[in-house]
Amino acid sequence: VSKSGERYFDAVRAAARANTLPQMRVDIVPAALGDDAPLWGAIALAENLVVG
């Protein structure tokens, strides 16, 4: 998703604006971890399950 480009993110931002309260500020940006974001999320989940 992070490599989808601005066209994709513009559509997601428009949908977020249409479906959130006007006073809510929602920033939608590409993941800082790029394509590795799911991997790091899985590692954090596994660590949380094992360590607590």
Q: How many domains does the chain have?
A: 1
Residue 1 falls inside a structural domain: no
- In angstroms and rounded to an integer, the radius of gyration of the C-alpha atoms of the chain is 15
Q: How far is CA 27 from CA 16, 18, 44, 49, in A?
A: 9, 14, 23, 30
pTM of the model: 0.55
Residue 40 falls inside a structural domain: yes
Instruction: Supply the pLDDT for residue 22.
Output: 83
Secondary structure E strands in the chain: none
Q: Which domain holds residue 10?
A: 6-51
Residue 10 falls inside a structural domain: yes
Q: Tell me the C-alpha distance between 30 and 47, whole Å.
A: 25
pLDDT by residue (tens digit) across 1-52? Answer: 667 788 889 999 999 999 988 888 888 888 888 888 889 999 999 999 999 7
In sequence order, what are the residues at sequence separation of 6 or more whose Cβ sits closer than 8 angstroms to the Cβ of residue 8? 1
Question: Which 8-state DSSP code applies to residue 28?
Answer: -
